Structure 1
């Protein structure tokens, strides 16, 4: 699961920075997904250590009487632009000193290697599978790591156009195992009606719309 909307009025790419919590709307998204999953056979709930992921996992864990298992492998991808803004005309990419970080979109040059994200996310999936064998587990992570591990499982190239990611706020990307093998991948958006139109998958940013960076 990707976490819900974050309170970020300044449009900072917050990455792994502490102190970024769910907005009121984000908490509603988390509650919605918690209700959606209340009847499922969930015996394990894990989450990235970042506040927005922990807060998203809380309603799910509470509904099933579980503690949240914090797993650092689920954390947001590293990014050299963490803490900076990307506003038009005044953002980090306007500064020549930062241009060296955007020369290689295939690795990528601005942050954690895609292959490293695959390794840690697959490790988290395997651990959750073992913890919930015969049942279901929920892991709360972040857009890029979720999309990268899904791309790997579905045998797509890892470098991609970020605008084409299918991983909306509070969405569920489901990996179904038969034994120790992933046999299918699913995707659903239980809180889609709560997601602002400009933040939905494939949407173009709207002028004057709220900012949300560092998924």
Structure 2
């Protein structure tokens, strides 16, 4: 008889980023004080859940987000490189509207194809690696619950892939706020439902 398993895919908490750059995969970006509080809030919210496995992206902010949850359940944090942030040509630059790299005509060529997208890792590639990581976590926690800590675009792309939605999208349409949980329910290896929660608030 198939066993029911929950996989909670979490976006990391707020990052200390006074330069307001697109930090991407750059090392050394830690959680802010608010981000630490968000991680603690989610750990408390999950305290009574049957979590037996926790895994995170190798980046510091994801590892720090996972730490309170692991401590709450007496677990070791595993690391899965495929939960990492997506690649982006603008990494290390400011990309806020009206400021920075997006105003430089020399960069406009990177914006030519929003479907792939042309400025970074293809959505299909992100979806494939995230689904593989979630499947590994599901197998590690069969009959129980797992937590995977990742990043906004990978989590959003995963949700879209698993729910049959179009992968290409506007960033403003993402359902993946800081420290949010996107939860997938499995019966055996079959996805039977999903949900979304913001235990740390907006």
TM-score range, shorter chain: over 0.9
* From 28, 34, 39, the counterpart of 1:19: 28
3-state DSSP class of the match of 1:137? strand
Runs of at least 4 residues off by over 6 Å: none
Partner of 1:146: 155
Give TM-score, length-normalised by structure 1. Answer: 0.88
> Structure 1 residue 103 and structure 2 residue 112: aligned?
yes
Cα deviation, residue 161, structure 1: 1.1
Structure with higher strand content: 2
CA drift of 1:93 comes to: 1.1
> 1:123: which partner in 2?
132
Kindly indicate whether residue 146 of structure 2 is the aligned counterpart of residue 112 of structure 1: no
Q: Give distance in 2, aligned partners of 1:9 and 1:163.
A: 22
2:88 to 79, 84, 90: 79
CA offsets 1:95-119 (integer angstroms, 9 cap, x no match):
1211110000000000000000111
Q: TM-score normalized by structure 2?
A: 0.94
With over 3 angstroms needed to count, the CA separation of the structure-2 counterparts of 1:21 and 1:134, relative to structure 1, is: same
Structure 2, unaligned runs of 5 or more: 1-9
Cα deviation, 1:51-93, whole Å, max 9, x if unaligned, reads: 0000000000011111100000100000000000024544101
Residue among 177, 191, 197 paired with 1:182: 191
Q: Distance in 2 between matches of 1:55 and 1:157?
A: 31
Alignment coverage as a number of residue pairs: 193
Distance 1:157 1:66, change over 3 A: same
Which runs of 5 or more residues in structure 1 are unaligned?
196-215
- DSSP 3-state at the match of 2:136: helix
Give matches, 1:89-100, under 5 Å. 89-100=98-109
Structure 1 residue 10, shift from structure 2 partner: 1.2
Question: What is the distance in 1 between the residues matched to 2:148 and 2:177?
Answer: 15
Question: Among residues 171, 178, 188, which one is paired with 2:180 in the alignment?
Answer: 171
**Aligned equivalents of 2:140, 2:60: Cα separation in 1:** 23
- C-alpha distance in structure 2 between counterparts of 1:125 and 1:139, whole Å: 7
Match of 1:33 among 42, 52, 66: 42
Whole-Å separation in 1 of the counterparts to 2:93 and 2:122: 20
Shift of the 179–89 alpha-carbon distance from structure 1 to 2, 3 Å rule, reads closer
2:142 to 129, 133, 149: 133
Structure with the greater relative contact order (CA < 8 A, sep ≥ 6): 1 or 2? 2
